[in-house]
Each structure stands twice: as C-alpha cells, then as structure tokens.
C-alpha cells in the first residue's frame, strides 16, 4: 500500500456512513487501495431496508498518529480487532488474502495494536495476523488471549474454560508459532476460570514474562477482586471488557479500579456489534451464520426501542462533520486518556473510517452535553445471551 495513502483525505458529499464510504472510495489513492484489497466483492454488511438516514459530511484522515498507554505499554489510540476475519462471526469475508492485506494496511496507516485470540477461528485469526505483520513485527503490538479448553493440535473446543498453568504454557507456545514471533507483547486471560486461583494464573504469566515469551498481560471481563489479586502477583497492563455507547457497565466500577491501579482499558465491541454505525435497524436481516441475531439487544423490538441512541449519534454527526461510528469511537476515547477501542473491520473503507475518528474532538461542554443526553436513554436488551454473559464478572477461587 502506497505511503501516499497516509496523506489522503476527502469530504463526502452527503449523509451518513454509506455516503462517507462512497466519497472515500472515490478518492483515487484510496480507490487503488480498495482494489488491492478486493473490496469490490459483495459487501458482508447486513441488509437494512428502511435504514434510517445518518449524519452529514465528514473529513477523513487515514493515519492514526495518537498514542496511549496501557500501563507501561504504548499503543495507537485506536487498535484493530481481528475476530471477524475468520468469517464465522458476522458472516463470510471476501478472502483470507484480503484480511492479510487489511492488517498490513492498518499497520501502514499507523495502527500499532492488533488484538486476536486462540479462540478466534479457532487459531485462524492468529495465523492471519502472523502472516500479515511479518514485515513490521517490531513496530506493532501483538495481543492475544488464552483460557478456553481448546485442543492445541486440532483447534477443537472441547468445552469450558481451562487456565491451568500447564495449559497456559501450551496455549502460549501455540500463539507464538501461529503469530510467527518470539514474544507476545500482550496476552489476556479470555475469561476468569472459576476452577483455578488467579494467583496460579498470574504466577505462570510472571514466569513466562521472566522467560521473555510475554511482555505484558491483562484480564478480560474479570471480577473486581480478581483484578486486585492478579495485579498483586504480576502487575496488569490492561483490562479488556465490552464498552460502547450502548454498554456502559464498566463505568460503574471497572474504570475507577483501572484508574486507581494504573491499568489501561481496551474496549471490545466499541461499536456495539455495528449498531452504533447507524447501519443496523429493526428491519435489518443478518447474513446466515451471523451471531448478532442471538444478542437480546438486537431483537427487532429492542432495536426499535434503542433507536434514540442512533438518532443522537446522527445529530452529533451533523454537528461534528462525522459518521455515527466516528462519534461512537471518539466518545469512548474522550472518557479517559488510557482507553483504547479495538473496532473490527473486514473492509478497507470501514478501517479508514474507524481510524479517522481520531480527528473528532469534543470540548468539555460538548462532551458533557453528549454524555448527559446518552444518560437519558435507557438501553433495552442484554448485551449477550445469558450463557455467555454468565462468564463475565467471575471471581477466581481462593488460592
């Protein structure tokens, strides 16, 4: 991808994410990049007859220049999540080769934080990322996750969680092999194992850090006391939880705890599985294999009840010259200087739109006004199905 793409910018001619993307694609250098990533293939976005109109014109800057600290680890202000790249979460992707090119383009455009997990695929998203970052390995941060009971050879998920020390070591060796690297910049325990004391997990990570195989670590969706206990054994660099304008539970206790302990925060699903992009409505029909219809918050009735959030985003998009997705990501980044969203993308236009959120800023009064308006909207529907949700906020057993 040409370095001159970094300097390109364009203003869309009319309204919303689709108009922004159309305007971006019309820019010659970006259009060349689109062709390189074969994004003229059929879109994998859900169909949305009756989709509500979005916001007005937006200026796109396609380079991430901001940097943030997760503990002592420096990363780009926006990262890239890879979970959708295996094609089994939101529906099929164009091709594996396109996903490799997308990751390489993200790195060229200033993204340094790339998030994956052994469970994504399983294994396939790590392999895609490993192939993609070889030319730039020393300038990016590779983050993966362990903790599921996954066969290390076949990738078969044999059920439940497994953070026993010997299994962690096996998982880490597999990650290093698939990511084609000699060290992991960050690893997360994907979910707290209710059968393994967190002191055993943290002690194993401490040993692996001593061996140079891991540089930093964190926890995903943990219980609060588990965070404190883990941090006492081996300091945590980050917590990774779902956080978006439609899922704000981290604000109650997790973010204050991170601030107290000097731990960074990584937002997964920062666009609420695509809802806050403004492209999903109660009329949306998802592709076969897309997991999003299983999310209670995404039922037609709940989506209809939650549309005031989208209307708010559209209004602010008009005010700020941005898309709803960009307002969503910029709002998250404005909460704390150590918060880093990791939106996923399988299309170059979406990647460029997401990283251009860095150009959207709020004055203190604007941020207060937007947050107050958001506070007044009650979100209806759980963020995940009950069996998955039950794995969040778990406290590890006593040592």
Tell me which residue of 47, 52, 57 sits closest to 311, measured CA to CA: 52
Pairing outcome for strands 141-146 and 113-115: parallel
Cβ contacts of residue 256 below 8 Å, gap of 6+? none
**φ, ψ for residue 142, nearest 5 deg:** -95, 125
For residue 385, list its beta bridge partners: none
| Helices and strands: H and E segment counts in the chain | 13, 12
Helix axes 16-26, 348-355, angle to 10 degrees: 110
Helices (H), the chain: 16-26, 28-36, 96-108, 124-132, 165-179, 198-210, 224-233, 254-261, 300-320, 324-335, 348-355, 364-375, 386-389
Token pair in block for residue 272: 């609420």
CA-CA distance, 258 to 238, in Å (whole number)?
8
Tell me which residue of 218, 245, 234 sits closest to 334, measured CA to CA: 245
Cβ contacts of residue 319 below 8 Å, gap of 6+? none
Query: Among the options 90, 120, 243, 273, which is catalytic?
Result: 120
Which SS3 state, helix, strand or coil, does residue 99 take? helix
Tell me which residue of 154, 152, 229, 158 sits closest to 394, measured CA to CA: 229
Catalytic residue check, 283: no
Catalytic positions: 120
């Amino acid at each position: 991808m040409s370095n001159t793409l970094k300097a390109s910018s364009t203003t869309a001619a009319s309204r919303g994410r689709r108009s922004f993307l159309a305007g971006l694609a019309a820019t010659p250098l970006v259009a060349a990049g689109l062709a390189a990533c074969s994004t003229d293939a059929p879109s994998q976005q859900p169909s949305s007859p009756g989709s509500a109109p979005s916001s007005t014109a937006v200026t796109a800057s396609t380079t991430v220049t901001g940097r943030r600290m997760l503990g002592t680890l420096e990363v780009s202000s926006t990262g890239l999540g890879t979970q959708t790249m295996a094609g089994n979460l939101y529906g099929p992707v164009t091709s594996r080769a396109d996903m490799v090119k997308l990751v390489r383009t993200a790195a060229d455009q200033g993204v340094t934080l790339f998030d994956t997990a052994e469970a994504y695929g399983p294994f396939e998203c790590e392999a895609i990322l490993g192939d993609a970052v070889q030319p730039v390995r020393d300038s990016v941060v590779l983050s993966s996750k362990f903790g599921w009971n996954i066969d290390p050879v076949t990738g078969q998920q044999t059920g439940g969680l497994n953070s026993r020390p010997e299994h962690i070591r096996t998982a880490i060796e597999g990650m290093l092999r698939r990511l084609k690297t000699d060290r992991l910049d960050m690893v997360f325990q994907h979910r707290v194992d209710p059968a393994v004391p967190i002191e055993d997990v943290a002690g194993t990570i401490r040993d692996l850090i001593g061996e140079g195989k891991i540089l930093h670590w964190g926890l995903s969706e943990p219980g609060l006391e588990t965070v404190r206990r883990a941090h006492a054994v081996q300091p945590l660099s980050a917590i990774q939880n779902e956080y978006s304008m439609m899922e704000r539970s981290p604000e109650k206790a997790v973010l204050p705890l991170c601030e107290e302990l000097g731990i960074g925060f990584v937002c997964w699903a920062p666009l609420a599985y695509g809802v806050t992009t403004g492209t999903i409505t109660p009329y949306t029909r998802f592709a076969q294999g897309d997991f999003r219809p299983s999310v209670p918050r995404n039922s037609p009735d709940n989506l209809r009840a939650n549309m005031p959030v989208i209307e708010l985003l559209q209004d602010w998009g008009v005010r700020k010259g941005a898309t709803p997705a960009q307002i969503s990501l910029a709002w998250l980044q404005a909460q704390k200087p150590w918060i880093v969203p990791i939106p996923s993308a399988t299309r170059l236009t979406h990647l460029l739109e997401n990283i251009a959120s860095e150009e959207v800023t709020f004055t203190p009064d604007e941020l207060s006004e937007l947050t107050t308006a958001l506070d007044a909207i009650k979100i209806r529907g759980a963020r995940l199905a009950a069996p998955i949700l039950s794995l969040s906020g778990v406290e590890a057993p006593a040592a």
